Structure 1
């Protein structure tokens, strides 16, 4: 990630009314638009379209909330996307995940997680590394999930890899102090012994 902010967030006063309406649910407790969305508002038409897809992935996803958040935390760690990490630590905690579970997903120490989460995290790694999954992992996904849920796995990984790319390229900074430190990349490397 660049040391310097490459693209500052757009001032709310400069946004179109229809963009402000789209961003209404994407505000923090003080009513400020989240930095990631204010940054992407440099391309308002694309942002509004992206929010429709993002709303499905974040709000209407068929995966269990806890599992989805573990996947996103894994992506944030693998990509070293600090902003994404911090936002989803907060969401994961609200979803009932404790810090040990959060760190486990991030570092690859998945043995204490349930079977579904281990398979989803293995799929996340495979999708990051290979942009696909092998036959054995596919069979495990099919045994645990519906086709709609598997498609949501693909959408979740794609969405959050996209966001991680934006964060890391544009230098989007966290909005405050990190709740948990982002584990180093070397701790987050995938384990070849996994499915």
Structure 2
């Protein structure tokens, strides 16, 4: 975690404006109390837009497989040193086909001996997008099995979770109950 306390406190049920309550009520019950959403509830209109786009990235409409998507999200969260994002998506990733033994390999990156060529290319693309805001020609070619739609969905996913990580890190969003803090992220 970048900050030991929130800069913008998540809103309690009593503090929620009606528009924010309406947006949160549309979420699955287990997610309504997440600090990421309660922090953004200060601006209900922005929260609604954020959720609409985020729901695309996390849905089956995203052409990446759940495993590919979570590899990209976790590598992006790692690169951004976003403790909240990392903790949430380790749980989601484990439910999306990523093995516990693969978590350290995500931290190590695309050159870890663990990955098949496409997975290594996905992780490399995450690194390149984060560092250069551009996927190099060689990596683009390695991503060919994703097709054009998959390549664009990968860019969307990395962009979304870079934005999310900036929000989490800058606002000081703290872990939700039950999440494990990664000691490598402070």
**TM exceeding 0.5:** yes
Structure 1, residues 14-53: CA drift from partner, whole Å, max 9, x if none?
A: 435554343332542xx64211011011111111011110
Give the Å deviation of 1:114.
Answer: 1.7
Partner of 1:135: 137
1: CA distance between counterparts of 2:29 and 2:168?
Answer: 18
2: CA distance between counterparts of 1:166 and 1:110?
Answer: 29
The reply on whether 1:146 has 2:147 as its aligned counterpart is yes
Q: CA RMSD in A?
A: 2.0
**1:76-95 pair list within 5 angstroms:** 76-95=77-96
2: CA distance between counterparts of 1:173 and 1:67?
Answer: 26
Alpha carbons 1:68, 1:156 under 8 Å: kept:
yes
Alpha carbons 1:107, 1:183 under 8 Å: kept:
no
Task: Give the alignment's TM-score, normalised by structure 1.
Answer: 0.84
Change (3 A) 1:146 1:13: farther
1: CA distance between counterparts of 2:118 and 2:34?
Answer: 31
Aligned residues: 182
User: Structure 2: which 5+ runs fail to align?
Assistant: none
2: CA distance between counterparts of 1:26 and 1:54?
Answer: 14
Give the Å deviation of 1:129.
Answer: 0.3
Change (3 A) 1:180 1:16: closer
Alpha carbons 1:70, 1:102 under 8 Å: kept:
no
User: Structure 1: which 5+ runs fail to align?
Assistant: 186-195
Partner of 1:65: 66
Partner of 1:47: 47
